[in-house]
Amino acid sequence: MSDAGVGIKQRTQRWMRMLIGLGFAAILIPALAGMLTAQSQPYDLLLRNGRIVDGTGSPWYRGDVAIRGDTIVRIAPSISEPATRVIDLGGQVIAPGFIDIHTHARRGIFDVPTADNYIRQGVTTLMEGPDGSSPVPLAPFLAKLEALPKSINIGSFIGQGSVRSAVIGDVNRQPTAEELDKMRAVVEQGMKDGAFELSTGLFYVPGTFTSTAEVVELARVAGRYGGMHESHMRDEASGVVESVKETIAIGERGGLPTHVSHHKIIGVGNWGKSVETLRLIDEARARGVDVTIDQYPYTASSTSIQAALFPAWAQEGGREQILKRLKDEATRAKIKAESARLIRNERGGGDPKNVVIARCEWDASLAGKSLADVARLRGMEPTVENAAEVGLWIVEQGGCQGIFHAISEEDLERILRHPATMIGSDGEIPIFGKANPHPRSYGTFARVLAVYVRERKSITLEDAVRKMSGFPAQRLGLLDRGILRPGMKADIAVFDPARVRDMTTFDKPHAYAEGFSYVIVNGQIVFEAGTMTTARPGKVLYRLHSSNPPR
Ligand SMILES: [Zn+2]
């Protein structure tokens, strides 16, 4: 090979390298320019100087959080790039917006789409359709929610009781094979429409007429779509241990995760049984059953007077049938005796004073009065028997929502400490000042942080936040919320851990929580400086089928 030949080869190689270099540059320069613009483009919102409690349960760390659009884009010890708005938090806690896994938000969301009672305690996502009760079919309800400008995110379950009611009515009998197929199809459609779970309310009519085997059949359908089964159990009083066993069995036999809703032990005679129910849950988890719990931090429950104080058989077939039974003297006496027993030993907490009316459509003045008060108003001594008579009268008039003081603080705290327990309010969206709702709607999350974290130190701040965000998000398959990380949706609650507290009480329930300074939903501030903003960034959330196809 001649020298000249070598020269040509070297020159060619040099040219080749240059061309390749230019090619890379052609790709790299715009990419670099893009990165530079992205970096020089200000963030929309920068939260500086926070104590980050990230929702995983890890100890807090100091840092800044940058948001662009609806997404957290950066978290670092100190972020100095420009932002359209910078807020110095002065060391307050930055937590993921709380996810309430158990609400009755369709009671109120269309009246109060800002959901002030929830937003003002840091809740940014609500789950609807628990206790076996949801709209059926689900799609029109979700479409109506889509059309509603709202401050908060909302998703729904499909309710087994509502499905059964739609297919065979509120009757106490087994479904035929055809009816069971029909129910399966309705549940499947609900899951396809975006339901997160199958909920059951085996305590209520018609859930109470449903056998475990029938629930398992429907649970399997939800499980195929990646959903879990969650239950307001058949019995939260004398039969609570059996009911926890049933809830576990539904998960085990149905091959899906299962969940005890608002776990509590009702009735003085049953107090302490949480030792056994939690042991059952630990044992189930140890053998591989995926079972979890939620809970609200109050020693009183709330449901309708009828559901709580009437035996199931007396509620079969709907209102007309109930009224017919109450007109028959012998049947009425039987219902009254059963009701007196429930006041004495279960929901009634042993004393007519312990049953308080929350809301009556037909007489608003009864809200806040106990069964003892109403007995006196009706010229009777406040005995248990007379309280039962008052309950019968209330149902005849059209029924009321009640509050039932019959839970012990010890059971409550034991359940709260359990690692598989998350927080859920079981609340609704009250119209401020109207009726006498259970304070759980206004105070659940703030109360856990104030009473059980700060005052009693039952659980740590980080664990409480985990129970309110990362844990329920994982349970619901909400993979882009519940934890503070770049790439996650910017749902954020900022609060002062020394000042946060619930202001609502059983006597004066209409009071917002205190101590929250900013609440952010999908990157937009919905609450600041003590008031709701005009932003309505709330979204309807769906179980994601594209990333989670039926198994
Ligand atoms: Zn319930």
Centre of ligand 1 to C-alpha 306, Å, is: 14
The CA-atom distances, in angstroms, between 427 and each of 78, 387, 473, 511 are 38, 26, 19, 14
Ligand 1 centroid to residue 522 C-alpha, Å: 29
Dist. CA 419 → ligand 1 center (Å): 21
Q: For residue 131, how far is its CA from the centre of ligand 1 (angstroms)?
A: 5
Predicted local confidence at residue 5, as pLDDT: 47
Q: How far is the centre of ligand 1, averaged over its atoms, from the C-alpha of 284 (Å)?
A: 22
**CA 426 to ligand 1 centroid distance, Å:** 7
Distance 278 CA to ligand 1 centre (A): 19
CA of 303 to the centre of ligand 1 (A): 8
Ligand 1 centroid – CA 282 distance (Å): 22
How many CA atoms, within 13 angstroms, populate the side-chain half-sphere of residue 216?
A: 13
Nearest one of 535, 526, 499 to 90, comparing CA atoms: 499
Q: How far is the CA of 365 from the centre of ligand 1 (A)?
A: 26
Strands 401-405 and 355-359: antiparallel
Strand bridging mode 401-405 / 71-76: unpaired
Residues 162, 166, 168: CA angle, nearest 5 degrees: 110
Ligand 1 centroid to Cα of residue 293, in Å, is 13
Rounded distance from Cα 549 to ligand 1 centre (Å): 29
Distance of CA 251 from the midpoint of ligand 1 (Å): 18
What local confidence, expressed as pLDDT, does residue 327 receive?
A: 97
Query: Ligand 1 centroid to 201 CA: how many Å?
Result: 7
Cis amide linkage into residue 486, ω under 30° from 0: no
Q: Residue 151 Cα, ligand 1 centroid: separation in angstroms?
A: 25
pLDDT value at residue 531: 98
CA–CA distances in Å: residue 216 to residues 184, 252, 263, 477: 11, 9, 21, 21
What spacing in Å lies between the alpha carbon of 71 and ligand 1's midpoint?
33
CA of 253 from ligand 1 middle (Å) equals 23
Residues 6+ apart with CB under 8 A from 323: 396
Q: How far is the CA of 300 from the centre of ligand 1 (A)?
A: 13
Ligand 1 centroid – CA 139 distance (Å) = 23
Do residues 471 and 423 lie in contact, with contact meaning Cβ atoms separated by under 8 Å? no
Q: How far is the CA of 199 from the centre of ligand 1 (A)?
A: 10
How much is the pLDDT for 544?
74
pLDDT value at position 468?
A: 98
Q: How far apart are CA 276 and CA 109, in angstroms?
A: 38
User: 261 CA distance to ligand 1 centroid (A)?
Assistant: 7
Ligand 1 mean position, distance from CA 204 (Å):
9
Q: What is the CA radius of gyration of the chain?
A: 27
How many whole angstroms from 290 Cα to the centroid of ligand 1? 21
Residue 493 CA to ligand 1 centre (angstroms): 26
DSSP one-letter string for 28-94? HHHHHHHHHHHHHSPEEEEEEEEEE--SSSPPPEEEEEEEETTEEEEEES---S-EEEEEE-TT-EE
Tens of pLDDT along the chain (551 residues)?
444 444 555 655 665 565 555 555 555 555 555 455 555 689 999 999 999 999 999 999 999 999 999 999 999 999 999 999 999 999 999 999 999 999 999 999 999 999 999 999 999 999 999 999 999 999 999 999 999 999 999 999 999 999 999 999 999 999 999 999 999 999 999 999 999 999 999 999 999 999 999 999 999 999 999 999 999 999 999 999 999 999 999 999 999 999 999 999 999 999 999 999 999 999 999 999 999 999 999 999 999 999 999 999 999 999 999 999 999 999 999 999 999 999 999 999 999 999 999 999 999 999 999 999 999 999 999 999 999 999 999 999 999 999 999 999 999 999 999 999 999 999 999 999 999 999 999 999 999 999 999 999 999 999 999 999 999 999 999 999 999 999 999 999 999 999 999 999 999 999 999 999 999 999 999 999 999 999 999 999 999 753 444 44
C-alpha span between 229 and 200 (Å, rounded): 7
Q: Is the dihedral of CA 501, 503, 505, 510 positive or negative?
A: negative
* Ligand 1 geometric centre to CA of 132 (Å): 9
The tokens describing 122, both together, are 């840091």
For residue 58, the tally of other CB atoms under 10 A from its CB is 12
Residues 6+ apart with CB under 8 A from 412: 264, 295, 297, 298, 299
Asked whether 536 and 151 are in contact (CB, 8 A), the reply is: yes
Measured in degrees and rounded to the nearest 5, phi and psi for residue 422 equal -115, 175
Q: Which two tokens stand for residue 395?
A: 């149902």
> Could you tell me the distance, in angstroms and rounded to a whole number, from the CA of residue 510 to the centre of ligand 1?
21
pLDDT for 547 equals: 42
CA distances, 485 to each of 7, 121, 179, 463 (Å) = 56, 22, 46, 17
| pLDDT for res 41 | 84
Q: Minimal CA–CA distance to 153: which of 119, 183, 181?
A: 119
What is the model's pTM? 0.90
> Which uninterrupted H or E stretch holds 281?
helix 274-286
* 200 Cα–ligand 1 center, Å: 9
Hey, is 126 helix, strand or coil?
strand
